[in-house]
Amino acid sequence: MPLSHAAKKGADPYIGFMQRFFYLLILIVSALTAGAQEDRKVIIDADTGNEVDDLYAIVRALIEPSWDVVALNATQWQPAHWAVEQTMEESYRLNQLLLGYLKMNGAVASHRGAENRLFDWGYRAQHSAAAYYLIEEAHKASATEKLTVIALGALTNVASAIIIDPTIIPKISLYWLGTTVDFDKGVQRQRDFNCMMDRQALDEVLESEIEMHIIPVSVASQMTMEFDLTKDQIGGLHGVCDFILDRWYQHLDGGRHERTIWDLAIIMAVIDPTMVTTVEFELDARYDHRTVTYYRDIDADRMRQDFYETIRTYFAR
């Protein structure tokens, strides 16, 4: 490393040594910090075939340099009025396409989840490859270095995993999009899509002691994107970019000039906590008044800007 201007003029060599020492120390700390961030293990559980937003969120998550996405799993949305015949299978198929476009098929695992919601009575868990993989990865984690699980749809796979093996509960940090909240009145409602796709799974998770972070749809609704701007920003960069742009209009509710890209909000909230405002929220007596971390507000402008810039930078390599 070149000597400082003062050292060249014959300044105390000790000062020059200390300058170099502290500079090296900064580099070491930065490297260690970066390494710790890159080691964050993430499982994404997605109802990818349900809507348009999942694909945008998943692509952003898969190219995040500070994450080690170990699996992209499929979850069901069978109770929906607009459900296709096999919702989980459709989500699994799209997950495979996204991984294929990004040449990540071997690097990121992909599993089928439950084909339907939890059973109504008796032993209610839905056994699936996704649930067992979550259990396997959770056991590799610890209470201090937990496995990050981001659920973009129904909580069927997560709930099944903790029913099958409750010992994984302290080893998971769960992030989820769902519910609506009136923070001023302290009221939580469970009438949105992700809640209704498996109400029993939601109860199972909230009744447990799992560490939980929730972005309500009433907050995520700020995460809107315009098609023309999005096409101008990412169109033609890569096959996966054109694929998700095509999905915007080929989906069964295609034709919208503007969409709410719900799931991107929770992905960005986990990637960069400076983009969100959180609050500890106390649930009602059904859940023993336990507290969960809620995202009360998001910086949607920064989230959109990050999405476009990260996509452009990644695919310009």
- Domain limits at 83? 41-315
Q: How far apart are CA 112 and CA 73, in angstroms?
A: 6
Same domain? 198 vs 120: yes
| 225 and 293 housed in the same domain | yes
pTM above 0.95, yes or no: no
Q: Report the Cα–Cα distance between both ends of the chain, in Å, rounded.
A: 29
Domain check: are 111 and 260 in the same one?
yes
Please tell me whether residues 34 and 51 are part of one structural domain.
Answer: no
Q: What's the pLDDT score for residue 108? A: 98
Q: What residue has token string 């898969």?
A: 62
Tell me the β-bridge partners of 279: 294
Predicted pLDDT of residue 80: 95
What is the DSSP annotation of 62-82? HT-TTEEEEEEEE---TTSTT
Distances 220 to 295, 296, 305 between C-alpha atoms, Å = 9, 9, 16
What DSSP character marks residue 3? P
Query: What pLDDT, in 10s, does the model give residues 9-56?
Result: 344 544 444 444 443 343 334 444 444 445 799 999 999 999 999 999
Residue 55 burial by Cβ neighbours in a 10 Å radius (0-12, 13-18, 19+): buried
Number of domains in the chain: 2
Shared domain check, 89 and 177: yes
Question: Are 232 and 104 part of one and the same domain?
Answer: yes
> 3-state SS of the chain: helix, strand, coil percent to 5?
50, 20, 35
Instruction: Please tell me the predicted confidence (pLDDT) of residue 252.
Output: 80
Looking at the structure, do residues 283 and 211 belong to the same domain, yes or no? Answer: yes
Which ranges of the chain have pLDDT less than 70? Answer: 1-38
Q: What is the CATH number of the domain that holds 223?
A: 3.90.245.10
- Tokens 């580099």 -> residue: 27
Residues 152 and 10 in one domain: no
Give yes or no: residues 142 and 227 share one domain: yes
Q: Cite the beta strand spans of the chain per DSSP E.
A: 40-46, 67-74, 109-111, 147-151, 172-177, 180-182, 187-189, 211-215, 224-226, 258-260, 276-282, 291-298
Pick left, alpha or beta for residue 92 (phi over 0 → left; psi -120 to 50 → alpha; otherwise beta): alpha
Q: Are residues 235 and 287 in the same domain?
A: yes
**Could you read off the pLDDT of 146-161 as tens digits, one per residue?**
999 999 999 999 999 9
Indicate if 34 and 45 belong to the same structural domain. Answer: no
Domain match, 197 and 102 both: yes
The DSSP code for 123 is: S
